[in-house]
Amino acid sequence: MKIGQVKKWNAERGFGFIATDGHDVFCHVSALPFGTKALEVGMHVGFEIEISSRTGKPQAANVRTV
């Protein structure tokens, strides 16, 4: 599990980016725990990285607050 910090979050559109190891990782609202609809900028989170079947790029999965 990687640890990162929420860099940007657009609650209206349901996605944002998590900064980790000098890279930004895309995060969709569907990667958040059930009932969680948004993250706050600056929040520390733990997550896994998976490859998007749609874009072929890395994205966050199983995001949890730490």
Query: C-alpha angle with apex 54: 41 to 23, nearest 5 degrees?
Result: 40
Q: What is the pLDDT along the chain (66 residues), one digit of tens a residue?
A: 999 999 999 999 999 999 998 899 999 999 999 988 999 999 999 999 999 999 999 999 999 999
Whole-prediction pTM value?
Answer: 0.90
Q: Which CATH number fits the domain that encloses residue 6?
A: 2.40.50.140
Whole-Å CA distances, 5 to 8, 37, 52, 55, 56: 9, 17, 20, 23, 23
Distance CA 27, CA 29 (A): 7
Residue 19 sits in which domain range?
Answer: 2-65
Distance CA 62, CA 30 (A): 9
Contact criterion met (CB below 8 Å) for 27 and 60: yes
Number of folded domains in the chain?
Answer: 1
